[in-house]
Chain A
């Protein structure tokens, strides 16, 4: 790999989507286009295919035989009650389950046709291409600048100038640039909760992933910060494939193209997929009675 030329490619690629911006221009806070104007919006081509995915914690089965597809450039919302395995499902997609002791996965997850649980899979590269944002904001106890620089360096971008360009770009993308451009060396933990969450999204975007997994990214935030993050997700639509777990049905309805409804069996506490389809269908004409009950608020 030649970092220099790769870097040029990277920047060129960025510019196609995103015309260059003057530095620290307060008038131009948001640089992404409006909803669903991106080049890849909702092409019905699956980028991830999950087949019969089961997940175990020790001997206990937490998720039972889930089969679904994630479509390129679309937002897929995972909804369902607590404990039905939505978060476990999410962490099975980028193999974060590797870090959980006693956690075992069966079945297949294919990313662009390659099995990610294959022994030859390069997990770091996989996770670079499938970014993740957690429920609670998890900035590292470092400066704002370094929060973004650290993973970039890890993936071979070591030139200070390159890092600065990318930092500015992604901070603009998440609408944080104007708020922090004069204090990039401040500790990330000094930011507010909403700002921290947007920094975490920016940090994931800096690696230019294809897919963004979001685990209830708004639920730990207050309503205003939450709506800012939701706006941001809307603006990312079309550029990234997004899988979002949410408890907020209204939010799922507002932003998602596809929805997957998970449920947990009463007795055995095993999560499973009940229904998957276009968001509108799930909310307006659900085929399964459980789904109907859940989205209308009579169960769950």
Chain B
């Protein structure tokens, strides 16, 4: 029997099967990491969840973990203020950047600016924090002491989430079908009329998904905020008041936290995780809708 007449009936032990099982093992490992993270956060925060009533995280007088006061609310408002402020500034800047790349710049200029945004996205948070600490904070301090403040946190966070917003919005804008633009132009719409009336509504879902992702990043950011926000546990009453965020709180106190205190820090980590999970799931869902 020659090799080319080998029967098709003989089923050899297939290398495909072996490889597939190997790859399956890898993929399951990758997916299990998420489960493992959830499991360990729950496990570590269990002591706190068990004998501290959930309501106490919001009704205790203050955050004095060494004296059994576990009010997380100042940190939650700190995180919210800083993130919302950053979004407030970054959304117009990011969408303007995306519009610039998609409709206003020459192709060469657009690519150059895109590279710049991508490089901005590559700057590590600790460098942003360091720059804020050495440049922004002294500047604000001259204007309204102490300098390390909600405002500094907002400005630095703005810079950090801007690339996410600009790049996702740009992707959403370029996904708008060309026929829309041509027919809008054929109707004699002005450039802004076309953008406002046709392009932005068509790209809305993609842009919103980008905003949700950026919000997730802002909430989860640690180092930069830790370095410029002043880290005083309080409800901010002005832009110039120092604040502390949930993430900064973990980074600051984890090193010496014991028993219940430590468990409460894990609770705040769990809270962060859940918040970000909701945001990314929403963004992923919107993104899927957008593509269909």
Whether the complex brings A and B within 8 Å at their CB atoms is answered yes
> Quick one: which of B2, B6, B8 contacts A121, CB cutoff 8 A?
B8
Chain A CB within 10 A, most for which of B4, B8, B9? B8
Q: Give the segment of A77-85, A125-133, A170-178 that binds chain B.
A: A125-133
| Binary CB contact string for chain B from 106 to 145 against chain A (1 if under 8 A, 0 otherwise) | 0000000000000000000000000000000000000000
Contact call A6/B2, Cβ cutoff below 8 A: yes
Q: Does A284 contact B (CB under 8 A)?
A: no
Task: Let me know if A116 is at the binding interface, CB within 8 A.
Answer: yes
Bound complex: CA of A91 vs CA of B10, how far in Å? 21
Inter-chain contact B11/A3, CB cutoff 8 Å: no
| A7 contacts partner chain B, Cβ-Cβ < 8 Å | yes
Tier of interface size on chain B: 10 to 19
- The answer to whether A120 and B6 touch across the interface, beta carbons within 8 angstroms, is no
Residues of A within 8 A of B4 (CB): 6, 10, 13, 128-129, 207-208
CA of A121 to CA of B12, assembled, Å = 10
Q: Which residues of chain A are near B7, meaning CB under 8 Å?
A: 114, 122, 125
- Residues of B near A9 (CB, < 8 A) are 2-3
B15 to chain A, nearest CB (A): 10
Contact with A along B2-45 (1 / 0, CB 8 A): 11101111111000000000000000000000000000000000
Query: Quick check: A114 and B9 within 8 Å, CB to CB?
Result: yes
Is A1 among interface residues, defined by CB-CB distance under 8 A?
yes
Binary contact readout B131-175 vs A (1 if CB under 8 angstroms, 0 otherwise): 000000000000000000000000000000000000000000000
**Does residue A134 face the partner (Cβ distance < 8 Å to B)?**
no
Closest CB of chain A to B233's CB: distance in Å? 54
The closest CB in chain A to the CB of B10 belongs to A122
Bound Cα distance A123, B12 (Å): 10
The interface residues of chain B lying within 8 Å CB-to-CB of A126 are 8
Interface string of A198-214 (1 = CB under 8 A from B): 00000000011000000
- Inter-chain contact A125/B10, CB cutoff 8 Å: yes
Q: Are the CB atoms of B2 and A125 closer together than 8 Å?
A: no
Q: Is A156 an interface residue (CB 8 A)?
A: yes
A129 touches B3 (CB 8 A): no
B11 touches A121 (CB 8 A): yes
**Distance to closest chain B CB from A115 (angstroms):** 10
A126 to B8, CA, bound (A): 5
Give chain A interface residues in 1-18, CB to chain B under 8 Å: 1, 3, 6-7, 9-10, 13
Closest B residue to A156 by CB, please name it.
Answer: B3
When C-beta atoms are compared, the residue in chain B nearest to A128 turns out to be B4
Closest partner residue, chain A, to B2 (CB atom)? A9
Are B3 and A122 in touch, CB under 8 angstroms? Answer: no
Write out the residue numbers on chain B whose beta carbons fall within 8 Å of the beta carbon of A156. Answer: 3
Residues of B within 8 A of A1 (CB): 3, 6
A207–B3 alpha-carbon span in the complex (Å): 10
Across-interface contacts of B2 in A (CB, < 8 A): 6, 9-10, 13
Enumerate chain A residues within 8 angstroms of B8, measured Cβ to Cβ: 111, 114, 116, 121-122, 125-126, 129
A26 at interface, CB cutoff 8 A? no
For A121, list chain B residues within 8 Å (CB). Answer: 8-9, 11
Q: Which B-chain residue is minimally distant from A14 (CB atoms)?
A: B4
Q: Is A280 interfacial (CB 8 A cutoff)?
A: no
Residues facing B in A148-178 (CB within 8 A) are 155-157
A10 touches B3 (CB 8 A): yes
What are the residues of chain B within 8 A of A128 when measuring CB–CB?
4
Q: How far is the CA of A52 from the CA of B2 in the complex (A)?
A: 33
Complex CA gap A18/B74 in Å reads 88
Q: How far is the CB of A13 from chain B (nearest CB, A)?
A: 7
A72 smallest CB distance to B (angstroms): 14
What's the Cα separation between A92 and B259 when bound, in Å?
A: 66
Residues in chain B near residue A114, CB distance under 8 A = 7-9
Query: Which residues between 45 and 60 of chain A lie within 8 Å of chain B, taking CB atoms?
Result: none
B4 → chain A closest CB, angstroms: 5
Question: Which chain B residues border A207 with CB–CB below 8 Å?
Answer: 4
Report chain B residues within 8 Å CB of A3.
Answer: 3
Write out the residue numbers on chain B whose beta carbons fall within 8 Å of the beta carbon of A208. 4
Give chain A residues whose Cβ lies under 8 Å from the Cβ of B10: 122, 125
Residues of A within 8 A of B3 (CB): 1, 3, 6-7, 9-10, 155-157
CA distance A121 to B3 in the complex (A): 17
- Write the nearest CB–CB distance from A90 to chain B, whole angstroms: 18
Cα distance A1–B120 when bound, in Å? Answer: 60
> In the complex the two chains form, what is the Cα distance from A9 to B6 in whole Å?
13
Rounded to whole angstroms, the CA-CA distance of A151 and B289 in the bound complex is: 41
In the complex, which residues of chain B have a beta carbon less than 8 angstroms from the beta carbon of A13? 2, 4
> How distant is A257 from chain B, measured CB to nearest CB, in Å?
24
CA distance in complex: A208, B3 (Å): 10
Q: Which residues of chain B are within 8 angstroms of A120 by Cβ–Cβ distance? A: 9, 11
**Interchain nearest-CB distance for A95 vs B (Å):** 10
Q: How far is the CB of B175 from chain A (nearest CB, A)?
A: 24
Q: With both chains docked as a complex, state the minimum distance between the C-beta of A59 and any C-beta of chain B, in angstroms.
A: 19
Which residue of chain B has its CB nearest to the CB of A6?
Answer: B3
Residues of A99-116 contacting chain B, CB below 8 A: 111, 114, 116
- Please list 10 pairs of residues, one from A and one from B, whose beta carbons are closer than 8 Å in the complex, sorted by A's number: A6-B2, A7-B3, A9-B2, A10-B2, A13-B2, A120-B9, A122-B7, A122-B11, A126-B8, A128-B4
Further pairs besides A7-B3, A9-B2: 14, Cβ < 8 Å: A6-B2, A6-B3, A6-B4, A111-B8, A114-B7, A116-B8, A121-B11, A122-B10, A122-B11, A125-B8, A126-B8, A128-B4, A207-B4, A208-B4
Q: Which 5 residue pairs are nearest across A and B when measured between Cβ atoms?
A: A6-B3, A9-B2, A126-B8, A208-B4, A125-B8
